[in-house]
Structure 1
Amino acid sequence: MKKFLEGGEKDSSDVNSPCKRIKLESDESMNQEEEEEDDQAILAEFSHPVPWQKIEAEGLDCDYALLFSKEEADKLFQQLEEEVVYSTGEEAKVQVFGKVYNIPRKQATYGDEGLTYTYSGVTRLACPWTPTLEHIRDAVTKTTGQTFNFVLINRYKDGQDHMGEHRDDEKELDPLCPIASVSLGAARDFIFRHRDARGKQSHRQIAPVKLELAHGSLLLMNSPTNTFWYHSLPVRKKIIQPRINLTFRRIVAKRNDQV
């Protein structure tokens, strides 16, 4: 089931490479020494390249890496435990095929002011970024070159908490931006299943792709992954430790003139 295609570090010519070099427009009056200093400062800003693993299958394109050391990840986990406020009441429910269920995990949404995100029949308003969420978001941006304005947080108390098969294909999401998934805490299995190979009525034999998302890891789900593949975090009864997952997204803000 497990399919890793080693991609190594991304080529520096890739526009999404973590080690990309951005050249600022300079004033003609700026001398060569000043230009070199600017170049060094820009490179320093993107000075956290990581060794990527490429994960590919038919219509599936992901990149996986360890973003934080164990010490960093431990600290971030504890800070999130103190800062994040999770949804309660009606916001802690989900609608599936017209029926309302309690979410088998805790959830929270944070992001830029005024942003909302609708999924599973529920619309959620983004809470203001906390310092730790800003730190993690900026680390993801420095590593990927992508910007994000929203994060969905899921907290799993142990292996009984889980997430069913679904696709992150909501219309609010920018189709050109990958979804960046940061995992902290207990390592958990993460399974992709092709839409044509699901259920008893499946008409194709396509093997699922199984990953283990480690403490401090980053998974990038690139287009067109969420078009063709469902993903889930199944129950694992032997897991007794908690896990926090943060999926950073870019939501396209609605204009006032939109109907």
Structure 2
Amino acid sequence: MDKFVIRHRKRSAVEEDEWKSEEPIKKCQEDECEVEEEFSQPIPWQKFEAEGLDCDYSLLFDKEEADRLFNQLEEEVVYFTGDKAKIQVYGKSYSVPRKQATYGDEGLMYSFSGVHLQAKPWTPTLEHIRDAVTKATGHTFNFVLINRYKNGHDHIGEHRDDERELDPACPIASVSLGAVRDFIFRHKDARTGSSKRQIEPVKLELAHGSLLLMNYPTNTYWYHSLPVRKKVKTPRINLTFRRIVKNRQKTGIKME
């Protein structure tokens, strides 16, 4: 289940001082510069790799700040109800087994599984988290999909975040707050069909305050899911920050 490659290098005290200075690092010995130097903020990163999978993982917020952000989101976020809380699967409508909300820049909308979700204006807490993600990664985001799981019975099935309106040059940044949950990747060629291949799934545990970057081409080849875990009794909030390209959004859809 857990077959993958991890690369992790923590900076020395000298490197940390260089990162905190006004001048960027100008020299690096051959083969010593790893994933950390690609990012804006000097936090320890782990690299997860498999065939066609490229992810970076780190703790973005300490427990005290993660607790505070979780509680603020519980007060601020307004989740969808009614038809907006359902998805279409093979022509049938099903209730989403979690709560969902979308926030972002004016006029943006995200469409998947037969639903079209218009972005509400950013809240102060969402802006704070978005800016922290941008500072850590160097990428800017104009949209966030929020999923709230009340306990281990709430879940999300296997899917890929490969909608055409997403900017393929921008990773999807997933921030987790609350209960620790298993997050499982499965290669598309290992799922079904006569050409099914023996490719091991990749399982990660997404911690409270963590940030997972799903880089290209991960969502081309790998499905991901958050399966049922009945022993989990506490809630989790997940925020997936994305960059939507306006001229790729579907047209002719009524904006409510």
CA radius of gyration, larger in? 1
Give the superposed CA RMSD: 2.4
Query: What residue in structure 2 maps to residue 8 of structure 1?
Result: 9
How far the C-alpha of 1:87 sits from its partner, in A, is: 0.2
- How much does 1:97 deviate? 1.6
1:214-236 deviation digits (Å, cap 9, x = unpaired):
00000000000000000000000
Normalised by the size of structure 1, how large is the TM-score? 0.84
Q: Which residue of structure 1 aligns with residue 30 of structure 2?
A: none
Partner of 1:185: 178
Kindly indicate whether residue 148 of structure 2 is the aligned counterpart of residue 155 of structure 1: yes
Q: Where in structure 1 are there 5+ consecutive unaligned residues?
A: 11-18, 22-38
Structure 2 SS opposite 1:40? coil
Q: Secondary structure at the match of 1:173?
A: coil
Q: What is the identity percentage for the equivalent residue pairs of Structure 1 and Structure 2?
A: 73
1:105 maps to which residue? 98
2:177–2:208 CA contact under 8 A, matched in 1: yes
Give the equivalent residue in structure 2 for 1:227: 220
Q: How does 1:30-41 map to 2 (within 5 A)?
A: 40=22
- How far apart are the structure 2 equivalents of 1:83 and 1:125? 17
Deviations 1:16-41 (A, max 9, x none): xxx989xxxxxxxxxxxxxxxxx839
Check conservation: 1:4, 1:53, Cα contact below 8 A. no
Q: 1:81 to 1:42 in 2, by over 3 A?
A: farther
Q: Find the counterpart in structure 1 of residue 162 from structure 2.
A: 169
Q: Does 1:125 align with 2:118?
A: yes
User: Partner residue of 2:29?
Assistant: none
- Give the secondary structure class of the aligned counterpart of 1:254: helix
Q: How many residues were matched structurally?
A: 231
Structure 2: runs of 5+ lacking an equivalent: 12-17, 26-38
- The answer to whether the 8 Å contact 2:41/2:137 transfers is no
Measure the CA separation in 1 of the matches of 2:5 and 2:178: 22
Aligned equivalents of 2:9, 2:102: Cα separation in 1: 33
Decide which moves more: 166-175 or 94-103: 94-103
Matched-pair contact (CA < 8 Å) for 2:165–2:248: no
Please show how residues 1-259 of structure 1 align to structure 2 within 5 Å: 1-2=1-2, 3-8=4-9, 40=22, 48-199=41-192, 201=194, 203-254=196-247
Per-residue CA deviation, residues 119-146 of structure 1 (Å, 9 max, x unaligned), is 1111110000000000000000000000
Contact 1:8–1:54 (8 Å) recurs in 2: no
Amino acid at match of 2:8: G
